Amino acid sequence: MSADPRLGRAEIDALQELASVGCGQALSALSRLMQRRLEMDVPEAWVGQGSGAIADFLGGLGQHLVAVAVQLEGLLSGQLVLALPEADAAKLAACLGYPVSAGEPWSVLAESALMESGNIVGSAFVTAVAVLVGQKLLLSVPRLARGGGRECLDALVARDAGSIALATRFSSAEPPGPLEGLILVMPDPGRVGPLLAALDVG
């Protein structure tokens, strides 16, 4: 599925600003949960790119990832994915009280802690965006996948997702060691028009 060709610079800027506000709130919530300071990069936008490009971008985080997805419902419909390299996901689980030993299988509790992190990130994101668009937004229960970027996306989102994507990197240098990750928001292209209208763009 290709992106709406009418998306211009103003529309893309508006989507990036939406991602900046939503991901800022999402990472503040994750930072409080972890009790660690998180730094956020400026969101990057892709328009007209297929899921292969997004999978390749995720692959830049490493060969072994842990990703949690929630489906967004309402005016902003689509997918939100929280993705981290597996070693960094283990650090996140440890911050939440569920350490994962190197080379050992993940416990059910550690995986549940990651899914709850994705749920908190998604909830904070939709709450912030709901204020911007003046409408209530909902999200599904979280789903978790592990593997390479393509494996994670294939397990979590539809094949035609990702023709519009907003990626926000985050990192932390605080103990127990450096950590990095990504929040990936993939709006449903068919709903971008009404979303931009609610943002008074176009």
pTM of the model: 0.90
H/E segment holding residue 173: none
pLDDT per position as a tens digit, 3-55: 444 678 899 999 999 999 999 999 999 999 999 999 999 998 877 665 566 76
pLDDT per position as a tens digit, 59-97: 667 678 999 999 999 999 999 999 999 999 999 999 999
The reply to whether 132 falls in a domain is yes
The reply to whether 165 falls in a domain is yes
The reply to whether 69 falls in a domain is yes
Count of structural domains within the chain = 1
With H, G, I as helix, E, B as strand and everything else as coil, classify residue 144: strand
With H, G, I as helix, E, B as strand and everything else as coil, classify residue 201: coil
d(CA 117, CA 104): 21
- Whether 110 and 100 have beta carbons less than 8 Å apart is answered as yes
The reply to whether 4 falls in a domain is no
Largest CA distance in the chain: 52
CATH code, 42:
3.40.1550.10
The domain of 130 spans: 10-198
